[in-house]
Structure 1
C-alpha cells in the first residue's frame, strides 16, 4: 500500500482508495507528515479547524480516525492508527510514503554526488518523478501549510542540485529549456536564473544569456528593490568579457537567498575531530539514524551518566551525517559542567551568528533580538548544530533555529524535559557499555597480546563499570605501560583507591568527571546523595532514602527524581533507585571528606532502625505468634496481607542481609534482630546456604551481646535452614539448643513451637523414635500454657503422622481430624494445608483414592492464594505423586514440574523427588 502527499493526498493499493470528506483527507495528511510519531488530539483539531473548533471537535476527530482505520483494514502493508496516551500514531509497517522515499533518494544522491555525479542525477530524477503537483495540493489547512511549503522548497532544492550536476556533466543542451522554464516559474529565485545563464552561454547563446540577465535584474529591482547577488553579477561580467563558458563550472551555492557577504565565505565546519577508536552504541546510532527520516531535521538530546561518551557519540554521528547539511556545521561548547560559569544563551547566540558570517558590529544586544536574528539567518538553511554540555533547558531553548532544515544535537548530563515538551525533541539516554562493547573498546586500545586475553579484559571492564571514560583511561594507561600485565591492572582496580588508577597525566580523570556533576547540585541534594552512597543497600526506595537522610518522604522522592534526572542515580523498576558502582565510590569519598565518621554512623543507625521496623512488621504478618524484635511493642509499620509482607521482604532481602552484617560490629542486637526477623520469609523463599552464613554472623553478635533470646531465635533459624538442605544432624542440634534456651528463659510457647517443627523434621527423616520422644516432651508442657489452636493442631498432626508412618492407619485418623477441626474457620491456611496433605496421604495408604484426591485438592485450594514456595511445592508434589499413580499423567506432570521449580528456588530436598517422579512419567 502506498501513501502519497507530493501532490494531492492519496492512499493507493492497486487503485486509489476513496477517502471521503475534506476532514478525512486533512487528518490523513496530518498523520503522514508525522508518520511513526504520536500526534496529539489538539494538533489534529488545529489541522482540521485551525481557529474556533466546534465543541464536538474531539468526537469528530475520533470519527475521522475511525473512517481511516476502516479504509486501511485488510490492506497490504497493514498500516495502523494506534492510540497512544492523549494522541494517535500512524504506524506504516509495510506501507510506503512518497515524501520519505523522496528525501531518502535525495540523501543517497547527495552522498554520491562528488564521486558519481551521473548516479546522483539518476537518483535525483527518480526522486523528482514522485511529485504530482504541490505538496498537500487538495488540503486547505493553515496549520499544515508550512509543512507543505517545506516539502515544496525541498523539491526545488533537489531540482536545482540535479540541474547543476547535469551542467557539470556537460549536458547543457538537454537542460537549457528546463532551466529557462524553472526560472520563469520562480522569477525571484537566483539559482535557476544563474544556471540558465550558464547553460545558454555554454550552448553558444551568449546574447540570450545577457538578455536573460537584464530581464531577471529588472524584475528583481521592480519587485524587491535589490540587484542580483555577487555570483550572478560575476557571471554577467564573465559573459560580457566573452570568457569561455565551457570552462566554467557553476559555483556550488546555498539554494537560499543569503547576504552576498555570506556567500563569499565557505560554510562553517566547526565539528571537533572524530576518534579512530569509536566502537559500540549500535542501537543508539540506529535510533539516531531513524530520526533523519521525514521532512524535519531532528532536534535530539543525547544525555546520560557522566563519562558515558555523550560527546563522543554526538561528534561521531554528526560526522556521519554532515553531507546532508551543505550550509554548515556549527559547534558550541556550552560549558554546562565546567568549573567556571556556563556559557549563557546570549554569548552562545553571538558565537553562532559570528560563525554564520554576521559581523560582530551589527549584532543586537538584547537576548530576544539575538534569538530572533539567529532564527532569521538560519531560515531555509540546512545546518547541523552541535550544542555540547548543556546545563538545562533555559540555556538551550533560545539556541534552537526556526528552520525545519536545521538539525540540532545537544549533549547534557540530565534530560531536558522542556525540550521535549516545546519542540518535539527526542531524548536518547546513554548507559554504560555492555560487556561485549566494553571488551571491544579495550581490545582496540590494546593492540598487543594483552588485547587477546578476553577473560581478563572482561574482568577489567566490570571494574570500570562499563563506563566509556573509565574504559578509555584504563586502556590508555595500560597501553602506555606496556610491561604491566592485565592481572596487575585488575589488582590495582580492586583496591580501595580504584579511581586513582583511572587518570592520566594531563587528564583530570574519572573523579573530575563525576565532580562536575556533583558540584552542579544544590547542597541538600549533595547531602542526600552522599548518605545513599554509604548505605549498605543494593538498591533503595523513597522510604529508605527518607530514613537515611532524615527527610520527609515527599522531599526524598523529589530528591531521588532530581538525582535520577541528572543520572547521578539510576531509576529502576518498581520505584527503586540505584548507583553506578564508580559513582557510589566517588560519593562515598565525598561523604568521608565532607561528613566524617560520626555522621556516617548516625546515618547508618537511622537506616538500621527503619529496616528493623519494616522487618518486624512483615514478620508479625507472616508469623504473628512469633514476634522477634520486641514482643511487647506494637510495630510502627504494618502490612495488610501476608502477600504484601512477603513482597516487601522479597524486595529488601539483599538489603536486610547487608544491614545485618553492617550492624554486627557496632549494634549486635540489631544484627540478630534483622536476621531472626527473616525466619518467616526464609521458610518460603531464599537461598538457605547464603542465609546460614548470615545466621552465623548473627549468632556471634547475639553471643557477644549476651542475649539468650537472640541466640535462641538464631539457632531456630539455623535449624530450619539446615533441615531444608537435608542436614539432619545439624538441624536437630540447633533445634535442641533453641528448645533449651527457650525453656531456660521461661518461653514455653516458643519451646512448644520448636518441638513441633523438630517433630516434623524427625518424621521426614523416618526417625520415629526421636519423633515420639519429642512429641511426648511437648505434650508434657502443653497444658501449662493457654490454649493455642495452631500449636495444638500441629502437635496432633505429628501424632497422626507418627501413626501413619508406623502403619497404624485407624489410630492416625482421630488426631488428624481433631487437628483439622481445631483449624477450621480461624484463617490458619498454612497449618490446615499440611493437615490436608497428611489426610490425603493417610487415605491413599488406606487405598481410598477418592478421599485422598479430595484432601489433596483442598490443600491446593488453601495454598493457591499464598506466596509460599515451600508449601506450594509440598502440595503440588503430593498431588503429582498421587496422579502419577492414578492418572491422568498430563496433570501429574504439570503438578510435578511446578513442585520441582518451587523447590529449586529454595534449594530444597523436595526437588529430587519431584524430578524422580517426572522421570518415571517419561516424555510427554
Structure 2
C-alpha cells in the first residue's frame, strides 16, 4: 500500500484534485489544497499549471510534512477524503449498422489484419478513406458491429464532423464525448485538454476496445484522440488520406456493377429491379458504385415509367424555378434526381434550410422560416429523410450530409436568389435568438442582460415549467445556437451575436459545455470590439469569455479578457459591470492560490459597488452581489489562514443567503464555514454546518456537492476520533 506521505502519493493527490475542477466539489478541494499547501510551505505558493509545477509543489509538501507531525496529520486527513480521479466503467456500443451491406471483403480483411496484429508497442490504427457517399462510415460501423465480441470493453463512436475546418469538432469536445460514453459522469470530465487526454488514456489502458472516429478532417484533429494501449483498435474514417497519420490505409472504392445490382435488389426487391431492367444499366452508370446514390435511386425504380431515371445522358434539373444543375459526382447527382421529384413545398424547405450547417433541425424552426404549420414542417422533414436528402440524428431531428447540403445551397442561390436566401438565413438566426432569450430569462430570471430583446421579453419568458426545463432547451439547442452566433457575425448582425452569447450564460453557469460554447464567445468578443469598443457590451462579452476560459484552465487568456472588461466597463461608467469584472479577477486569483491578491480584488469590487446607484439596471441585484463578495472574501481569508476574519465574512454572507431566497448559495456558504472551522482545528463547529448544508441541498440534486459534504464529515469525525 502506498505511503500517503510519500512523494508519489502527494503528487497523485494534487493531480487528482487539479483534474477535478469541472465541478463545485472539485473547486472547493482545489482551494482547500491551496490553503493547506500555504500552511505547510509557510509562504504563498502559486497553483501548479503543468506537470513540472505540480512536481515542485508536491516536493514542497513532502518536505513540510516530514518535519511537522501536525501538518502531516492535516495533509493525511485532506488526502484521505480528497476527490479521487474520476472513473469510467460503462461498456459503450456503436450505432446500429445498415440492414443491407454488400461486398467490401478486401477492406474488411485489412481491418481484421490490423485488429488481430500482435501487440508490439505500436498503436493499432487504421484509416478508412474514400469519397463521400462511398460507404466508408458504414464499413467501419458494420465491421465493428460484426466483431463486437472481439471488444468486450466496448465500442466508442465519435462524429468529428470534418467536412471542413469550419465544421470540424475540436478534439477536446470529442474527448468529453468519449469519456462520457465510457461511463464518466459529465461533471467529472476534467476541464483542461491535457487532463482529458490523460483521463482518456488512463480509462482505456486495460480495455479491449474499438474506437471509431468518423468524418475526420485532419491528423491534428485525430492525434489527441489516439492511445498506445495494446488492446485498443482505433479506426479513423475520412474522405481522403490524412498526411502525418501513421495508420494502415484502408481505401474504399466504388461497388462493382454486380454488387451494386445486389444492393439495389436488397433495397427495392427482386421484382422491382427486374421490372426496371430497361433503365438499370443507366441507373448503375449514374450511381457510379456509390451506396448513397444507389439507396437514393432504389425508391425511384418503382415510380411510373422511371421518370427521374430515364432519358439520354445525365439528367439536368429543369423547372420553372431556375436553370439546370450541371452534372456532378454520384452523391450530388443523386440528390439532384431526388430533388427533381419533390413537391414544391418540400423543395423549398430543402433549399432554404441548407444555408448553414445546422447540427439538428426540428420542425418548429422550419415551420417559422418556411411559413408552414409545425405539423406540415414535420411531415416534410420526414419525407426529405425518406428520400436520403436529410439524415435523422440521435436527438430525433435532422441534418444534411455535407455534399447534399452543398447541392441544396447552390440550388437555393440559383433558384431563390440572394435576397430570399439572405432573408431565410436571417429568419433562422432570429428564430434561434428569440428561443434562446426566452429560455435564458426563464433559466436565470434574477441575472441581468443587455439587449433590446431581453427588455422586450422580460415580462413574458418562455413557456417553461421551471428553470430546469428552460436549461434543458438551451442544452438541446446548443449546437444550433453556436452556429447562429457565427452566422450572425458573418452577415453583420452584432445585436444578434451579443444577445445570443448572453443567452448561453446559464449553460456556462450550470451545465458546463464550456468547450462547445467557446467559439461563440470568441465571436462575441470580436464583434463587440469591432462595433462597441469601450462599452458595457464589450465589458460583458469579455467577462463571459474570461469566465469560460477560466473553467477551461486557460488562466493567462482569461486574465487578458478580464483586464479588457474592467477597462471597458470603467470607460462606459457602468459600475455594476466593472465590479463584476474585478470580482472575476479575484476568482481567478483564488484558483491560482494567490489569496492576498484575490482579497484585494474583492475589496476593490466592493468599493466600485459603493459608487453604483440604487436605481436603474442591476440595482435590484446589489444586495446579492455584496453578499457574494463577502463570501469570496471569506474564502480568500481562509486561504490566508485568517480564520476568525474568514468566519465573520462568511456569516455576514449567510445572513443574506439564509433568508431562503437562494438555497444553493446558502449551502455553498455553509460549506465554506464548515471548511473554515475544520481548517482552524474545530471539527465540532463544522459538523452542524455540514448537516445544515446537506438539508438545504436536498432538493437541488447537487450530487457532487453532497459528496463533498460527506467527505468533510468524514474528515471531522476522523479528527474527533484522534482527539
Q: Which residue of 2 aligns with 1:673?
A: 499
Counterparts in 2 of 1:764 and 1:886: CA distance versus 1, 3 Å: farther
Partner of 2:598: 771
Matched, 1:625 2:450: no
Of 535, 557, 565 in structure 2, the residue corresponding to residue 738 of structure 1 is 565
Task: Give the aligned length.
Answer: 423
**Cα 1:518–1:719 shift into 2, 3 Å:** same
Q: Are 1:597 and 2:402 counterparts? A: no
Deviation at residue 475 of structure 1 after TM alignment: 10
**3-state DSSP class of the match of 1:533?**
coil
* Separation (CA, whole Å) in 1 of partners of 2:102 and 2:625: 73
Aligned mates of 1:722, 1:573 — CA distance in 2 = 29
Give SS of 2:510's match: coil
Equivalent position of 2:531 in the other structure: 705
Select which of 457, 461, 478 maps to 2:251.
457
Q: Which of 453, 457, 460 is the matching residue for 1:634?
A: 457
Superposed, which structure 2 residues align to 1:19-98 within 5 Å? none
| Structure 1 match to 2:626 | 792
Distance 1:459 1:887 in 2: 66
| Corresponding residue SS for 2:711 | helix
Render the CA deviation track for 1:434-490: whole Å, top value 9, x for unaligned.
Answer: 999x999x9xxxxxxxxx9854637999xxxxx99999546999xxxxxxxxxxxxx
Question: Per-residue displacement from partner, 1:11-63 (whole Å, max 9, x unpaired)?
Answer: xxxxxxxxxxxxxxxxxxxxxxxxxxxxxxxxxxxxxxxxxxxxxxxxxxxxx
Would you say the 8 A contact 1:669–1:701 is kept in 2? no
What CA distance in whole angstroms lies between the structure 1 residues aligned with 2:542 and 2:424?
Answer: 30
Is contact 1:307–1:513 with CA below 8 Å preserved after alignment? no
Match of 2:542? Answer: 715
Give the direction of change, closer, same or farther, for the CA distance of 1:543–1:683 in structure 2 (3 Å limit): same
CA change 1:755–1:569 in 2 (3 A) is: same
SS at structure 1 position matched to 2:477: helix
Say whether the 8 Å CA contact 1:545–1:556 is kept in structure 2.
yes
Q: Which residue in 1 is equivalent to 2:652?
A: 818
Matched, 1:808 2:642: yes
In 1, Cα distance between equivalents of 2:543 and 2:558:
9
Q: 1:880 aligns with which of 706, 711, 718?
A: 711
Residue 585 of structure 2 contacts residue 601 of structure 2 at CA under 8 Å; is this kept in 1?
Answer: yes
Q: Which residue of 2 aligns with 1:847?
A: 681
The residue correspondences of 1:28-427 to structure 2 (distance < 5 A) are 277=103
Q: Deviations over 1:88-137 (max 9, x none)?
A: xxxxxxxxxxxxxxxxxxxxxxxxxxxxxxxxxxxxxxxxxxxxxxxxxx
CA distance in 2: counterparts of 1:275 and 1:824, whole angstroms: 63
**Alpha-carbon shift at residue 527 of structure 1 (Å):** 0.5
CA 1:845–1:679 in 2, change beyond 3 Å: closer, same or farther? same
* 2:511 counterpart residue number: 685
C-alpha distance after superposition, 1:501-538 (max 9, x if no partner): 964xxxxx333332332222210111112122223311
Residue 720 of structure 1 deviates from its aligned partner by 0.6
Unaligned ranges ≥5, structure 2: 1-99, 109-131, 136-213, 217-232, 240-245, 256-262, 265-283, 294-324, 615-619
1:607 aligns to what SS in structure 2?
Answer: helix
* Distance in 2 separating the partners of 1:601 and 1:523: 20
RMSD: 4.3
The equivalent residue for 1:570 is: 391
Q: Partners in 1 of 2:466 and 2:673 — Cα distance?
A: 28
1:689 positional shift: 4.6
Instruction: State the SS of the aligned residue for 2:681.
Output: coil
Shift of 1:276: 9.4
**1:277 Cα offset (Å):** 4.7
1:750 equivalent in structure 2: 577
Aligned-pair CA distance for 1:855: 3.5
Cα separation, partners in 2 of 1:454 and 1:583, compared to 1, 3 Å = farther
Correspondence 1:725 to 2:552: yes
Q: Distance in 1 between matches of 2:547 and 2:600?
A: 20
8 Å CA contact 1:615–1:649 kept in 2: the answer is: yes
Q: Deviations over 1:305-352 (max 9, x none)?
A: x9899xxxxxxxxxxxxxxxxxxxxxxxxxxxxxxxxxxxxxxxxxxx
- Alignment of 1:654 with 2:448, yes or no, is no
Deviation of 1:278 (Å): 7.5
CA distance in 1, matches of 2:327, 2:391: 25
Report the equivalent of 2:272.
none
Larger radius of gyration: 1
Query: Is the Cα–Cα contact under 8 Å of residues 616 and 629 in structure 1 kept in the other structure?
Result: no
- Tell whether the 8 Å contact from 2:546 to 2:561 is kept in structure 1 after alignment: yes
Instruction: Give distance in 1, aligned partners of 2:291 and 2:469.
Output: 47
Aligned-residue offset at 1:819: 1.3
| 1:678-708 Cα shifts (integer Å, max 9, x gaps) | 2231233345455444433322221222352
| Maintained 8 Å contact 1:626/1:750 | no
Whose relative contact order is higher, 1 or 2, with alpha carbons under 8 Å and at least 6 apart? 2
2:433: which partner in 1? 612
* C-alpha displacement of 1:610: 1.3
Q: 2:525·2:541 contact (CA, 8 Å) conserved in 1?
A: yes
Provide the secondary structure at the position in 1 that maps to 2:353.
helix
2:401 corresponds in structure 1 to 580
877 and 754 in structure 1: CA distance in 2 versus 1, 3 angstrom threshold: farther
Provide the residue aligned with 1:394 in structure 2. none
SS at structure 2 position matched to 1:633: helix
Counterparts in 2 of 1:668 and 1:872: CA distance versus 1, 3 Å: farther
1:819–1:277 distance in 2 versus 1, CA, 3 Å:
closer
**Does structure 2 retain, via aligned residues, the 8 Å contact 1:616–1:677?**
yes
